[in-house]
Amino acid sequence: MQTVALYDNDAFLKEFSSRVISCQEVMVEERKLYKVVLEQTAFFPEQGGQTSDIGYLDNTAVVDVQIENGIIYHYCVSGFLSGEIVHGEIDWNHRFGNMQQHTGEHIFTGIAHNLYGAENVGFHLSDNTVTLDLNIELSPEQVREIELLANKTIARDVVVKAYYPDPVLLPAIEYRSKKEIEGAVRLVEIEGTDICACCAPHVKTTGQVGMLKVVSFNKYKGGTRVYIMCGLRALDDYNRRMDILAASYQLLNCQEDQLPSKISKLMDDNKQLKYEISSIKSDMLMNRIYGFPSDLVDVTIFSEDLDAKTMRDGVNALVERHTGLCAIFSGDDENGYNFVIGSQSRDCAAIAAGMRELLGAKGGGSPQMAQGSVQATRAQIEGTL
């Protein structure tokens, strides 16, 4: 026997009583739960891309609700006896939030459909994200326009009506539908904006959606995926973003609208400082190189944070003054080293090959010069050389 879905006629029913038809112990992801079937319920099960209601049956938490062949299963943390009467209460904040998001989706898609002929080909409503997939590509300007009109529709506070039309009249009604529907068609009509086949609970008037904000959108499967937030969820998100902004402009000691130019200037300064540091390091390296006695044959230098060009310039300067193996290693024992080696007399490609074999180094080069990286300590490198 199919469960009587009380949310179908009254989306604002928060509490109800029902006789328990069956209760079965089940394991769900290594958790013992009880799968409870009632005669009637106000709990909306997961369907159509929307996660289920949560709440309580008596004092027992309902953690998930599923529907199969019209029978609604409540997954509870403890069990009940068949025939007993239970009192159900849905988590209203959770449900009302879902109704705000869901009705917002109808408004947005209805307007996208009316203006641009877009069809909704996907919808997902979870506790974190609301996405709607449209089958056409929308420009940023079009998304902004739909968002504005959606908020105007919300402000007009028009009626949202859910009903089962007379099957005889149904073919004459123009409505959006994601798929062919078996059984009675339930229509959700937003006056002047949209008619869509849908089984979920919605708010009573568009004003109850509060507001609709497009958080982001991107190209998706030849169309557009739009991320929206409605009502209190949008307010929470606004507050979260304001906190991030406030923390940023306090850190940078500027006004909110000065943030982009302030960050841009910091990035330029940083680039200039990096350039200056690199040039100082290069000078220091050269001073070190010119300090070695010229009768040294092999020279190996270990340093931190040298860029590739400085290392190559350094090795070139060493090779001019010393006849053996000239090597510069930049890095530290923990993170490994980059290296450049050069020589007038030794085969650097062969030395690099030896480092690959003995130390698992990467890289190579010519007999005159080679470069690469190695994940090893200074002691290991010196031992190998």
Question: Shortest Cβ distance from residue 81 to Zn ion (Å)?
Answer: 36
Question: Shortest Cβ distance from residue 41 to Zn ion (Å)?
Answer: 19
Instruction: CB nearer to Zn ion: give 47 or 264.
Output: 47
**What type of residue sits at position 93?**
N
Q: What is the rounded distance in angstroms from the CA atom of residue 363 to the CA atom of residue 367? A: 13
Question: Shortest Cβ distance from residue 8 to Zn ion (Å)?
Answer: 12
Instruction: CB nearer to Zn ion: give 198 or 306.
Output: 198
Site of interaction with Zn ion (CB under 5 A): 198, 200
Confirm if 215 and 229 have CB atoms less than 8 A apart: yes
Question: Shortest Cβ distance from residue 42 to Zn ion (Å)?
Answer: 17
Question: Shortest Cβ distance from residue 55 to Zn ion (Å)?
Answer: 20
Instruction: CB nearer to Zn ion: give 33 or 198.
Output: 198
Question: Shortest Cβ distance from residue 34 to Zn ion (Å)?
Answer: 30
Instruction: CB nearer to Zn ion: give 198 or 315.
Output: 198
State which residue has the least CB distance to Zn ion.
198
Question: Shortest Cβ distance from residue 200 to Zn ion (Å)?
Answer: 4
Q: Which of 85, 38, 80, 46 is nearest to 63 (CA)?
A: 46
Confirm if 336 and 375 have CB atoms less than 8 A apart: yes
Instruction: CB nearer to Zn ion: give 130 or 200.
Output: 200
Instruction: CB nearer to Zn ion: give 190 or 348.
Output: 190
Instruction: CB nearer to Zn ion: give 54 or 160.
Output: 160
Non-local (6+) Cβ contacts of 283 within 8 A are none
Non-local (6+) Cβ contacts of 280 within 8 A are none
18 token code pair = 């029902």
Residue 71 CB burial class (10 angstroms; 0-12, 13-18, ≥19): middle
